[in-house]
Protein backbone atom coordinates (compact mmCIF):
# COMPACT_ATOMS: atom_id res chain seq x y z
CA UNK A 1 0.00 0.00 0.00
CA UNK A 2 1.42 3.33 -0.99
CA UNK A 3 1.33 6.45 1.12
CA UNK A 4 1.89 4.76 4.48
CA UNK A 5 4.61 7.19 5.57
CA UNK A 6 2.38 10.14 4.67
CA UNK A 7 -0.47 8.69 6.72
CA UNK A 8 1.88 8.02 9.64
CA UNK A 9 3.21 11.59 9.56
CA UNK A 10 -0.38 12.86 9.59
CA UNK A 11 -1.04 10.76 12.70
CA UNK A 12 -3.49 8.48 10.93
CA UNK A 13 -1.33 5.41 11.58
CA UNK A 14 -0.15 4.96 15.15
CA UNK A 15 3.06 3.20 16.22
CA UNK A 16 4.62 3.34 12.75
CA UNK A 17 8.29 2.34 12.89
CA UNK A 18 10.57 5.26 12.11
CA UNK A 19 7.85 7.88 12.52
CA UNK A 20 5.87 7.61 15.76
CA UNK A 21 7.51 4.41 16.99
CA UNK A 22 11.31 4.60 17.20
CA UNK A 23 13.44 2.03 15.42
CA UNK A 24 15.29 -0.21 17.85
CA UNK A 25 18.59 -1.68 16.71
CA UNK A 26 18.74 -5.43 17.32
CA UNK A 27 21.15 -6.43 20.08
CA UNK A 28 22.22 -9.59 18.26
CA UNK A 29 21.47 -9.45 14.54
CA UNK A 30 21.57 -12.72 12.60
CA UNK A 31 22.92 -10.86 9.56
CA UNK A 32 24.28 -7.36 8.99
CA UNK A 33 24.45 -5.90 5.50
CA UNK A 34 26.65 -2.92 4.65
CA UNK A 35 24.28 -1.45 2.06
CA UNK A 36 26.21 1.82 1.85
CA UNK A 37 29.44 0.19 0.69
CA UNK A 38 28.44 -3.16 -0.85
CA UNK A 39 26.57 -3.71 -4.13
CA UNK A 40 22.97 -4.88 -3.82
CA UNK A 41 23.63 -8.16 -5.65
CA UNK A 42 26.30 -9.07 -3.10
CA UNK A 43 23.95 -8.19 -0.22
CA UNK A 44 21.23 -10.35 -1.78
CA UNK A 45 23.72 -13.21 -2.10
CA UNK A 46 24.64 -12.84 1.59
CA UNK A 47 20.95 -13.10 2.52
CA UNK A 48 20.51 -16.23 0.40
CA UNK A 49 23.58 -17.86 1.95
CA UNK A 50 22.29 -17.08 5.45
CA UNK A 51 18.86 -18.53 4.66
CA UNK A 52 20.55 -21.68 3.34
CA UNK A 53 22.70 -21.95 6.49
CA UNK A 54 19.57 -21.62 8.62
CA UNK A 55 17.87 -24.39 6.63
CA UNK A 56 15.08 -22.10 5.47
CA UNK A 57 15.81 -22.61 1.78
CA UNK A 58 17.60 -25.33 -0.17
CA UNK A 59 21.03 -24.52 -1.56
Domain boundaries, the chain: 4-53
18-39 residue pLDDT tens = 898 888 889 999 999 999 999 9
pLDDT band, residue 58 (cuts 50/70/90): very high
**% of the chain with per-residue pLDDT over 90:** 80
Nearest-angstrom CA–CA distance, 12 and 55: 39
pTM of the model: 0.63
Exposed / middle / buried, residue 50 (Cβ in 10 Å: 0-12, 13-18, 19+): middle
Residue 57 pLDDT > 90: yes
Mean per-residue pLDDT of the chain: 93
Beta-bridged to residue 21, according to DSSP, are 17
Amino acid sequence: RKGLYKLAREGKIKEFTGISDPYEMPTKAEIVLDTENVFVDHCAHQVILKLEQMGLIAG
